[in-house]
Amino acid sequence: MEAPKVVQCIAEVAAAVGWQANVGASETAGLIVSVLAANPEQIGRFMEEGSELFIDGTMRAENGCLSHRAINGQIVEPTKLREIKGQSQ
């Protein structure tokens, strides 16, 4: 799998999902990178299914490895989010 193709797919999916959700595409791309970095086994599936991974819940902040800014303005680590949601680390 070529890195430029993966990056292009991330950008395309982020732009489409961001537009549909009325959120920034760069923030959406960050979520995709966070989840794929934490779960590299999902890269092939992402390349095939794209935005479907948002629908089935794969692309969620708690499944990633990077912090994000919550709606209340706080910076939240995925481990803390999993803890709050009662999920295993």
What global pTM score does this model have?
0.89
Chain center to CA of 24: 13
Chain center to CA of 47: 13
State yes or no: pLDDT of 89 exceeds 60.
Answer: no
Exposure of 2 by Cβ count < 10 A (0-12 exposed, 13-18 middle, 19+ buried)?
exposed
Instruction: Please state, in angstroms and rounded to a whole number, the distance separating the CA atoms of residues 9 and 75.
Output: 27
Residue-range definition of the domain harbouring residue 27 = 3-84
pLDDT in tens, 37-81: 999 999 999 999 999 999 999 999 999 999 988 889 999 999 888
Q: How many domains in the chain?
A: 1
- Report if residue 89 sits inside a domain: no
Q: What is the DSSP letter of 62?
A: G
